[in-house]
Structure 1
Amino acid sequence: MNISAPFIKRPVGTSLLAAGVLVIGMICYFLLGVAPLPNLEFPAIFVQARVPGADARNMANTVAAPLERHLGQISGIDTLNSFSSEGSSFIVMLFNVGTNVDNKARDVQAAINAAAPDLPSSLRVPPIYRKANPNNAPVLILALTGTTQPLSQLYNYADTTLSPRISQIPGVAQVDINGGATPAVRVDLNLHAMAAMGLTGDQVRNALVAANVIEPMGYLSDGNTQLAINANTSMTQPDQFADTIVAVRDGVPVRLKDIAHVYSGQQDQYQAAWYNGQRAILLMIRKQADANVIAIVDKVRALLPQLTPDLPAGVKLTPFFDRTPTIRASVDEVQITLLISLGLVIMVMLLFLRRWAPTLIAALAAPLSVTGAFIVMYLFGYTLDNFSLMALVIAIGFVVDDAIVVIENIHRHLEKGLRPMDAALAGTREVGFTVVSITVSLVAVFAPLLFMTGFFGMLFREFSVTLVAAILISALVSLTLTPSLCGQFLHVHPPRSETSRLGRKLEVFHEGMRARYAKALDWSLRHPRLLAAQVPLLLVLTIALMVVIPKSFFPQQDTGAIQGSTQAGADISPEVMMQLQQRVAKLV
């Protein structure tokens, strides 16, 4: 049985099918996302809770501890760690490899809800959780600065205007706002004045909560007409809070301004950011997992001229951190390497085959295999990253092997006098099993990467799937399109009486290679023991080099950016820390 016969006998249909694969593959190429690394789903979930003003000890005892008790009851947890600092608690849950993180995310949300009664009432916003994603780093950071507007107004403008506009861009997952917080009325209590009045912090808090309540007031009706009572009892300005009566002593009302300093500020006064030495609000733009990072950044930059006219006078919106230059450079370099590899493969085939028809027929296997791999990548939700493109570069050297085997065998039958169609049928039938065995052996080399577990398994799965897909598609092309084209365009050329100078040089080159190979083969057959000793020698040398060669998780590269962090003692106040941070920034 010759599985290639239907395709050989129908060259037009086979060519149209190949053209369809080529077109669909190119469409999928433009639909693929671009990222530096594959989309990795680590078996980890992060939980974060914030209580402005709480110290690290209180955060650990009143927030982190109750959350850990409930989160620790989730099955499949490998390790559970928590980190608490001033106003914030951060919990890291690592699950066993192979755990479905989406299912565990629902368990985490249920545990957070169960822990709510044990959490302090000062926790205004429920704890939030998110899955680990190495591609979740901001792709672009915008700095909003202004000389005519206070920081609270800049934050309000970023939160109500800029963030929603940017979030509407396809592929943008979220826009985080840092460097400021929600505007709020701050109350700094005077402990000495409170002690003189016999007041405690809880009494003051309860008085403010009772005075700032929004609730339905009911209706007024005379039987014929009904009116809803609307009374605005909420307070939004500092002077309204300052005049609030918090207690009565000896018949004299005690107002909040008598025992505290009331002023406008932000909810978290210790959150700050600077841009070129000026206080700024930072908008950190993050992409969706399968989005094209380059396209997102280009769309955001295209949107900036539309946002600038709406900014108040003296306010500027400046992009200052862009991850795409290094991503563009690395992806472009790999794509150029892919084209160079394809060109070199075609040149080498032309050098040895010395005929345009078999060279071009064999060369078609490369673009068809690559575009077919693009279709598989799109169906699996993969991205164009360094690993998938590296797999395609490696596959270029493999995908033409099967086609060359088929073409050489068909050409052998042509030299025996068979017609092109008969030669294609006979030649493909003879080497069909050989092509399948070559493909299976190559797949067997890379298939173990598909079954690797842990982080490296997740990292190399996209690489192995892309490479195996290109190899399998090349086998299909070699058994269908290649013999079909050979049956139409491959012919035996009679020997020419005169050969060009280049042809004569190629003949001399080929004869020289045959002669050197014959001598090397004769020497090898006369010294079998010496050649057999090479196997253990190479094995020992490989092991020695594995020990000696330096190792690293990723190769070092210059991204053109320097990041640093500063750490001070626990007794350093936030105000002093800000000053020290600015001194470090000026030195850098």
Structure 2
Amino acid sequence: MKLTETSVLRPVTVAMIMAGLAGIGIFCYFQLPRELFPEVDFPMVTVMTVYEGAGPEEIQQLISKELEDEISTVEGIKHLRSVSQQGLSLVMAEFYEDTDVDIAAEDVRSKVNIVRNLLPEEAYDPVTMKFDFNDYPIMQLAVSAPRSLREVYLMADERIKDRLSTVPDVASVEIIGGEEREIHILTDQQRLRAYGLNIGDIPAAIAMSNLETPGGHISQDAHEYNIRMRGKFTDLEEIQNLRLMLPTGKSVYLRDVAEVRDTFKEIREKARADDKACVGVSIKMRADGNTVAVDEGVQKQLEELKEILPADYKIDVQEEQASWIKAAIQNVFTNIYIGIGLTAVALFLFLHSLRSVIIISLTMPISVAATFIIMYLMGINMNMMSMMGLAMTIGVLVNNAILVLENITRYIHLDHAPDLAATEGTSEIAIAVASTTLTNVVVFVPIAFMGGIIGQIFKDFGLTATFATMVSLFVSFTLAPMMASKLLNKQNTSVMGDSLRHRFGRRFDRGLEELRESYGRALRFLLRHRPLTIIASILILVGAVVLAQFIGEEFITSMEQGQFSISVEMPVGTRFEETDAA
């Protein structure tokens, strides 16, 4: 085999290539984004519309029905349903699995824009969203201080939110709870009527006076000056002194017909941490972001905020995904390390050569590192599925190298020179090893290109397993025979000798021979009683089919993250205070 022969004749070249693959692979390992699951596009588009103060029936008639009638004309919809509740409308369109969700979302957004003028003016603009598997907050913070919630909210909104929004790949930072400043104007109806005014005159006057508009520019000599008409209210007194025009042509101050209060918005949500009221901060990541990298960026900003904020402010991380992702991936790597260690022990038991163990122990990490290079070039993230594919192929990586080394060892014991034994031993079984490897590839490739949601989830698994399998074949035909030609000889692969290793090897081989004889006797018994063997096999098959009916089914298995959540839903119409007390 030309590839093996070249590798044996040019060991330095092969060593440099493998060292390069290992170095670049380690670099790519640290560059790979880390996520819990692969990116999955669910064929679901949701339209959310907020209409504060409206009941479920009003929401259904005025918003949900209008949106459903228009969205139903979009092509490719499989199911369309809506949920109308107090102040909120949700219209969910499920598309067929082969639908491009991005195009479908754009079509739905276009339909929503058409029907927007038919919705109540007081309703917020509808928001069209794709269902994103990772569209959940990656971190929840609790901001607290021995101050009023109004001060804490102001600090979170003006300082903390702005700093966290600068972290790369952060999509949004939302403030939850607290007391947001709001100016309330409480009118006196009798005084309004006495002056010939109605309540609609007040918001109109405020809107006209609370303006800030550009006024062009003035050119003078070599300079140009921009003009801006500044009319925004700066304090409570300016609002109180706003003049309202009367039908008689005179004016009256706003304070004469209404009471102006500097207070806060009605509290409709509240955050607590350690049984104390606080201000919550929810951080979401962009769809193409890296959860671990974003988490590290946020943690860095939090350290800087500790130096900037007053000493009595505390920012506690209540929930975050990055540590769970890192722990899950690390668990997979731990299993890989254990697999490599157990494989090394098994190799020593069967080959009785520490040098063979060294060769195998080098081929496995290099194969894994080279796989990281292909993952990086193909844009595959490091997630549970890709790492599972890599872990499953560890056996394939080892199997190829073992077959090659075992045959090379056999040739060495036939008194062939190590170089010739490496070349001839590898060439003799090259077709068998390649066929075995390609058989595994044939299994993994269809998994990588399955359709639907399952196909998206298993794509990284199938591709990673395929790449790792092909890399292992290359390493087995290059690095393994090259190292065998330099490290193995008849003396260090033989069990003849008086050392502890030799005595253990001979005892192990005798035990293996006894096991082989026992297996032979069992096989001969089964061949003599073929009807019994066939009946037993059929019973096992039928039993497996019957027991399979009792195996549960689920889309994704539940994972233990060391935490739990409790959700309490109160009856419709329950006051916020009652819900908060629950």
Check whether TM > 0.5.
yes
* Counterpart residue number, 1:391: 389
Aligned partner of residue 138 in structure 1, secondary structure: coil
Kept after mapping to 2: 8 A contact 1:8/1:483: yes
* Counterpart residue number, 2:468: 470
CA drift of 1:354 comes to 0.8
CA distance in 2, matches of 1:220, 1:463: 66
2:564 equivalent to 1:558? no
Kept after mapping to 1: 8 A contact 2:241/2:254: yes
CA drift of 1:279 comes to 3.5
CA drift of 1:143 comes to 1.5
2:445 equivalent to 1:447? yes
* Counterpart residue number, 1:162: 160
* Counterpart residue number, 1:507: 509
Out of 543, 546, 562, the position equivalent to 1:544 is 546
5 Å matches for 1:171-210? Answer: 171-180=169-178, 183-187=181-185, 204-210=202-208
- Deviations along 1:265-306, one digit per CA (max 9) or x if unpaired, are 456642332334444321112234455534443443343232
CA distance in 1, matches of 2:65, 2:431: 64
CA RMSD of aligned residues (A): 3.6
5 Å matches for 1:302-451? Answer: 302-312=300-310, 314-451=312-449
CA drift of 1:120 comes to 4.1
5 Å matches for 1:278-289? Answer: 278-289=276-287
Out of 514, 532, 535, the position equivalent to 1:533 is 535
2:489 equivalent to 1:487? no
CA distance in 2, matches of 1:21, 1:509: 41
CA drift of 1:247 comes to 6.6
CA distance in 2, matches of 1:260, 1:540: 84
Aligned partner of residue 533 in structure 1, secondary structure: helix
Deviates more, 1:398-407 or 1:505-514: 505-514
Q: Which amino acid aligns with 2:271?
A: A
CA drift of 1:542 comes to 1.9
CA distance in 2, matches of 1:394, 1:370: 12
Deviates more, 1:316-325 or 1:476-485: 316-325
- Deviations along 1:399-449, one digit per CA (max 9) or x if unpaired, are 211222222223333333332222333222222211121012222333332
* Counterpart residue number, 1:519: 521
Distance 1:437 1:229, change over 3 A: closer
CA drift of 1:46 comes to 3.4
- Deviations along 1:335-362, one digit per CA (max 9) or x if unpaired, are 2221111100111011101112333323
CA distance in 1, matches of 2:219, 2:341: 88
5 Å matches for 1:114-193? Answer: 114-123=114-123, 126-151=125-150, 153-180=151-178, 183-187=181-185
Aligned partner of residue 492 in structure 1, secondary structure: coil
CA drift of 1:116 comes to 4.3
Distance 1:300 1:243, change over 3 A: same
* Counterpart residue number, 1:17: 17
Q: Which amino acid aligns with 1:283?
A: V
CA drift of 1:211 comes to 3.9
CA drift of 1:162 comes to 1.5
Kept after mapping to 1: 8 A contact 2:349/2:505: no
Q: Which amino acid aligns with 2:139?
A: L
- Deviations along 1:432-480, one digit per CA (max 9) or x if unpaired, are 2111210122223333322333332222222222222211211122222
Aligned partner of residue 561 in structure 2, secondary structure: coil
Kept after mapping to 1: 8 A contact 2:213/2:228: no
Deviates more, 1:342-351 or 1:289-298: 289-298
Deviates more, 1:328-337 or 1:263-272: 263-272
Distance 1:363 1:192, change over 3 A: farther
- Deviations along 1:72-124, one digit per CA (max 9) or x if unpaired, are 44333333333344444333333321333333444444444444444444456
* Counterpart residue number, 1:79: 79
* Counterpart residue number, 2:40: 40
Kept after mapping to 1: 8 A contact 2:40/2:457: yes
What percent identity do the matched residue pairs reach?
29
Out of 244, 262, 265, the position equivalent to 1:264 is 262
5 Å matches for 1:28-67? Answer: 28-67=28-67
CA distance in 1, matches of 2:94, 2:9: 58
Mind listing any 5+ residue stretches in structure 1 that lack a counterpart? none
CA distance in 2, matches of 1:387, 1:554: 12
CA distance in 2, matches of 1:505, 1:235: 94
Q: Which amino acid aligns with 1:498?
A: D
CA distance in 2, matches of 1:34, 1:565: 29
- Deviations along 1:514-564, one digit per CA (max 9) or x if unpaired, are 222222232233233333334433322222222123444444443232212
Aligned partner of residue 309 in structure 1, secondary structure: helix
Aligned partner of residue 18 in structure 1, secondary structure: helix
Deviates more, 1:260-269 or 1:513-522: 260-269
Aligned partner of residue 209 in structure 1, secondary structure: helix
TM-score normalized with structure 2 length: 0.86
Kept after mapping to 1: 8 A contact 2:495/2:506: no
CA distance in 1, matches of 2:311, 2:317: 18
Q: Which amino acid aligns with 1:423?
A: A
Q: Which amino acid aligns with 2:539?
A: L
Distance 1:114 1:201, change over 3 A: farther
Q: Which amino acid aligns with 1:146?
A: A
* Counterpart residue number, 1:301: 299
